[in-house]
Each structure stands twice: as C-alpha cells, then as structure tokens.
Amino acid sequence: MAELDEHVVAPARLTLMTTLTAVSDAEFATLRETLGVSDSVLSKHLGALEAVGYLRRHKGVRGGRRTTWISLTPLGRRALRAHVTALRALIDAID
Amino acid sequence: MESKSPRPTAQEASAALVDAEATRARLAGRIATPSWFFVSMGVAIAVQVATVAVGLGDKQALDAGELGTPWLVAAGLAVFAAVAGVQLARFRRLNGVWLGGFASRVVLGTATAASVSYPVALGAAIWAAYGERWWLVALWSLVGGAAYALSGRRWMHTYRGDPAAHARGESLAWLALVTAAAVGGLVTLALNA
C-alpha cells in the first residue's frame, strides 16, 4: 500500500499542489486568490514545499511588475501522484 | 492552513481530495482568452496561408525553376509570429498563469484538428495559386484560419474538462526547436528575397 507523503498530507498543501497541476506556472497573487489564503500562509507552504524540491519559484514580470511565479517540479508531480494514490487506497479500504 | 497534520481518516481524505480538485477546477474555469483572441489567430493563419500560397505557388516562377516570392512568405510568417507573441503575452497578463498546452496546442496549432486542417488548407491554397484560381486561394485561406480558431476553442473546452491532463503540452525544448526552425526559415526566406 502506498504511503502518505508527510510533506503533502496537510489539506492545504494537497490543494496547492493539485491546483498547480492545472497550469505550467502560476503567479503568486493568482495562486493566493484561487486558494483564498493570505500572503504569509501561502509563502510558508511554498517555502516548505520548495525546500523538499516539490516546487520551484522564479522571478518574472506581469503587467510591468516583478512578480514570483511558481511551478511543480517533476519530483513534486511524482510525489503528488503517489500521495493521491495513497489517499484513494485509504478511502477504498473503508468503502 | 496547517503544515503538519495527523494521518487523515477516510472521510477527511475524501474531503481533502474533493476540495483540492474543486479548487483546481475553479482555477481552470477562470482561465480565459484575451479579447478577439480566436479572431486574431484565425486571421493571422489565413494571412499566413494566403501569403505562402501566393509566394510559393507562382506558376511562372515555378515553371522557370524559381522560388516565387519569398519575401511574401516571410511577411506572412512575421504577421503570424507577431500576433502569436502578442496574444501569448496578453494571455499570461490576463490570467496570471502560463499554460504550455495553450501555447503549443492553440497558438502553435499542434492540437489534432489544427495539425490536420492547416496542411490541408495550405496544400489546397498552393494548388489553387499554381492554377491561378485566386478566389480559391482566398477561400482555402479562410477555411484554414477558421479551422485553426475552432480547433483552439475546442482545446479550451477539453482543457477545462481535465486540466491536469492538458495543461503542459509539448516540452519547452520542443517548442524552442519549432520556434528556432520557424525563425530560421524566416531568415532564410528574407535573405533570398
């Protein structure tokens, strides 16, 4: 049985990483608005996931302003896929 | 948002998955194309098809073993490149996301419908130009442009149905290779003009 990933087990991080699978890169403010969280909360989760190599941040420009863009890494995609598999197994085991 | 959570129960796991997928669907649903996007892309492709057909399908030049009017072909490619570049920049600014699938499938036309309709329309337009049937050149150019735009609309619908499967499109390396080939062709044509 696949193991839950301790770095993704928090629902907020699962939502953050799952949302990033819908795009190649997302700008910080777009992600914050979509998730409905504050700058500091989002930054904290981004920092934690970046530290384990699940996503990367890079500087870019939007509307003439320098902004931060975020994307999942291949490692992050694999980790998310494995975590979701483990969650589904957990649900199926009860059903 | 907590960073450390105990092992979830089945109900919590189910709720977390549902919420995560709903949030992803919300982001995908909010992604929109800039105003006049499909019209401008359709027109750019129609212009590009027409210029290639007229530039390469010149019967007298072909019969004489010459290339026709390469500067016209280069001009058509330049129009398409300019429209595509501007629209991609507008898309990124409007949505705050970059969507590789959109860039490759919709703008560069690698979606199935566009990758079939474009060469058909281009070949038919060149054939019409060689026969000096200019109204047919115009017709096939319009057909090519319309099919390209409709293919893009169809891809957007498909993307929203399953964003994770369609978000990324071709790799950046592949897009860079295609762009380099297009720019190389453009430069070659311009130098031969």
User: What is the token pair recorded at A84?
Assistant: 């979701």
**Terminal-residue alpha carbon distance, chain A:** 16
CB contact under 8 A, A24 and B28: no
Chain B, window 16-55: residues with a beta carbon less than 8 angstroms from a chain A beta carbon: 16-17, 19-21, 23-28, 30-31
Q: Would the CA dihedral through B91, B97, B101, B104 be positive or negative? A: positive
CB contact under 8 A, A26 and B24: no
pLDDT of residue B180: 79
Q: What average pLDDT does the segment B25-47 reach?
A: 96
Partners of residue B93 in chain A, C-beta under 8 Å: 62-63
pLDDT of residue A69: 96
Q: Give A65's contacts (C-beta < 8 A, 6+ positions apart).
A: none
Compare all CA atoms of chain B with the CA of A89 and give the residue at the minimum distance: B10
* Fold designation for A11-94: Arc Repressor Mutant, subunit A (1.10.10)
Q: What average pLDDT does the segment A21-38 reach?
A: 96
- CB atoms closer than 10 angstroms to residue B51: 23
Residue B1 touches chain A, beta carbons under 8 Å: yes
Distance CA B30, CA B40 (A): 21
CB contact under 8 A, A22 and B167: yes
Mean model confidence pLDDT for chain B: 87
Q: Residue B23: pLDDT above 60?
A: yes
pLDDT of residue B186: 60
Q: Give A75's contacts (C-beta < 8 A, 6+ positions apart).
A: A53, A54
pLDDT-derived band of residue B74, with 50, 70 and 90 as boundaries?
A: confident
CB contact under 8 A, A24 and B19: no
Alpha helices in B4-133 (DSSP H): 10-30, 37-56, 59-63, 70-95, 100-101, 112-130
DSSP 8-state symbol, B33? P
Amino acid letter, B42: G
- Show me where the domains of chain A are located: 11-94
* Sheet of A55-62, strands arranged across: A55-62, A65-72, A25-27, B97-98
From the list B20, B28, B167, which residue is nearest A14 (CB)? B20
Compare all CA atoms of chain A with the CA of B16 and give the residue at the minimum distance: A11
Top residue of B11, B30, B97, B99 to mutate, by most chain A CBs within 10 Å, is: B97
Does B141 or B190 have the greater pLDDT score? Answer: B141
pLDDT-derived band of residue A3, with 50, 70 and 90 as boundaries?
A: confident
Q: Tens of pLDDT along B142-193?
A: 999 999 999 999 999 999 999 999 988 777 677 778 777 766 766 665 566 5
β-bridge partners, A57? A70
Residue B171 touches chain A, beta carbons under 8 Å: no
User: What is the token pair recorded at A69?
Assistant: 């863009």
Global pTM exceeds 0.90? no
Partners of residue A19 in chain B, C-beta under 8 Å: 20, 23-24, 27
User: What is the token pair recorded at A4?
Assistant: 């839950």
B106 with B158: CB under 8 angstroms?
no
pLDDT of residue B67: 66
Nearest CA-CA distance, residue A55 and chain B, Å:
15
pLDDT of residue B24: 96
**Residue B164 main-chain phi, psi, to 5 deg:** -65, -35
Nearest CA-CA distance, residue B44 and chain A, Å:
25
Top residue of A19, A32, A42, A77 to mutate, by most chain B CBs within 10 Å, is: A19
- Name the 3-class secondary structure at B1: coil
Say what percent of chain B tops pLDDT 70.
88
Partners of residue B163 in chain A, C-beta under 8 Å: 21-23
pLDDT of residue B145: 96
